Structure formats: structure tokens, C-alpha cells
Amino acid sequence: MEKQSGSSSVSRWVTANGLRLHVQDWSGPGAPRLVLLHGLASSSRMFDLIAPNLAAHFRVIAPDQRGHGLSDKPASGYDFETIARDLDALLDAVFPDPRPVALVGHSWGAYTTLYYAATRPDRLAQAVLLDGGVRSIAGRYPDWETARIGMAPPRYQDRSLEEIRQMIRTDWLGPIFRPELEPLALSIFDSHNPQDVRAHLSYENHMQIVRALWEMNPQEFFPRVQCPTLLVAAVPPGQTVSPDDERMIADALSNIAHAEVCWMPDTVHDSPWHRPRELAAILKDFLIQAGR
């Protein structure tokens, strides 16, 4: 089943690893292939503003990962290996021939991209870690109980659609809010009942991902990455690069065989929404150059 989405893509449902995954497909040229992975508690619509520009040069797809968006929401399977097997099956279904793909991951998706590049080097041509994938969560939260409390998501139950809209405008997006972003942000919620809007990603599944993030040590995976890799690091408005961020990026650059960094100043974490044109240009330039 296919239908047009609001972002000039086609919505597809692909059976992968026993799940029905929703995938946005912007088509584009037959090669090279580009797969975009969203972050924790997000959706494929994180990429709505950059994918059309990239589709002029690449065959672009973006799935809703398990538990997210319109995809199936099983009660287990949120560790990195199972997520990687989802991606294996998705690539096999969408791209029947075995040519490597470029993989871009944002936030939690960057950690998945790092894991995938390290454990399946033959499947990737390039990797991009977009504001994620380099920080050890355990370095910030030394024990699980502290991490569980510090990284728990908000409880959205019993909130009306209007309350969620207001939260998006003021608390979530705040100074970067533009009307075009509201439907993209709303895509992480199930709003069929406008008086009881809930996140697509359940609290329990969210916390399984948090646990997997807390248990992952990115430094163990850096030396195993073989493909050209770009680290895109956002520097929030009014801030400079912190010594801690500089250290983490330097560690990744020194341990990933073919890595480079691009700093995006005055940019919030959700850079695909904040600075889509700039980010699309950064990705296009890297992927084309690295693919030569």
C-alpha cells in the first residue's frame, strides 16, 4: 500500500524482521542510495525539509523505526542489534541488489548508524552521525537508576491536542518555531482522540531504548568503522563549543579511520528542522565527495 505524504514523498509499508515498518520514499535517482534514521521519540518526518533537496542526487528513504510513528510497536526488540536487523531486512526489501548505502542517523539514530557501520561494514558506503553517536551516556549517568530518572520522557497522557500544539510552539520548538514545523512535530503523537493525545513511542519502549543507549560505549565501535564518516555537531545559539564536546569529537576523529567533522554554529539539536538548507548542502557535499 502506498500513498502520498505531505512532503512530496510516497508512504510505503515494508515487512522487515517480522514488523510492518512505515517508510517515506522520495525516490530520486537509482543510485547512490541514502537512508535517513530519526532519533528517539521522533519520526521519519524529521527529514521532511531536507529529503526533497537530497532526492535530486540520491535515492532517499526514511523509515519510522520500530515503536515510532506509523510503524509496528512491539513490546521488545529495542536493543541495537535488533534495530540493526530491522535495517538489514528493510534494505533487503527496498534495495534488492547488494550495493552499499549511505546511512545518516540523527541523535539516537546516530548511535544506530555507528553500531551498523561497525558491525556491518560491507553494507555502508558512507555514514553520517548527526548530533549524536559520540557521547557515552554512562559517562553522564554513572548508574542506571540515575540514567532512568534523568532520561525518562514526559508523560503525555490526558493532554488535549491543543495543549500539545501549545507545548510544541513554546516549550519544544520555542525560538525556532515556524508554522511548517507543527505538523512535523505532531507526527510523534497519536492524536486520533484529540482529548487524549499520546506519544506513538510508549513509555516502556522508550525506556528500553534509553537502557540500550546507557549500556553502549561508542568508543568500542569507533575503530571498527571502515567507511568515510562525517560527524555533524550542532552548537546551540549563544554558545561556543565546550571542551567536553571538543574532546569527544577529537576522540572519534582519531579512532574512526576516515572521519571528518562539520560544526554547525547557532544551531539547535534538531538541525534538520532548524537549518534544513544548510544541512542538506553539508550532507550532499560530503556524500558526493566521499562517493567518488
Rounded to an integer, what distance in angstroms lies between the CA atom of residue 153 and that of residue 140? Answer: 17
pLDDT of residue 1: 43
Give how far the C-alpha of residue 105 lies from the chain's centroid of Cα atoms, to the nearest Å: 4
To 5 degrees, how large is the angle CA 12–CA 127–CA 98?
Answer: 60
- pLDDT 10s digits, 173-213: 999 999 999 999 999 999 989 999 999 999 999 999 999 99
pLDDT tier, 31 (very low <50, low <70, confident <90, very high otherwise): confident
Q: So where are the chain's domains?
A: 2-142+217-290
Q: What is the mean pLDDT of the chain?
A: 95
Residue 216 pLDDT greater than 50, yes or no: yes
Residue 152 pLDDT greater than 70, yes or no: yes
Identify the CATH number of the domain defined by range 2-142+217-290: 3.40.50.1820
pLDDT tier, 229 (very low <50, low <70, confident <90, very high otherwise): very high
Residue 5 pLDDT greater than 60, yes or no: no
Residue 20 pLDDT greater than 60, yes or no: yes
172 or 4, higher pLDDT: 172
Rounded to an integer, what distance in angstroms lies between the CA atom of residue 99 and that of residue 23? Answer: 20
Closest to 116 in 3D by CA, of 30, 37, 53: 37
194 or 223, higher pLDDT: 223
- pLDDT 10s digits, 235-263: 999 999 999 999 999 999 999 999 999 99
Q: Which three cell numbers stand for residue 271?
A: 538541525
Residue 141 pLDDT greater than 50, yes or no: yes
pLDDT tier, 96 (very low <50, low <70, confident <90, very high otherwise): confident
pLDDT tier, 158 (very low <50, low <70, confident <90, very high otherwise): confident
pLDDT of residue 6: 41
Give how far the C-alpha of residue 242 lies from the chain's centroid of Cα atoms, to the nearest Å: 23
Give how far the C-alpha of residue 136 lies from the chain's centroid of Cα atoms, to the nearest Å: 17
- pLDDT 10s digits, 39-52: 999 999 999 999 99
pLDDT of residue 206: 98
Question: Please, what is the angle between helix 203-215 and helix 108-119, to 10°?
Answer: 50
* H or E segment and range at residue 230: strand 229-234
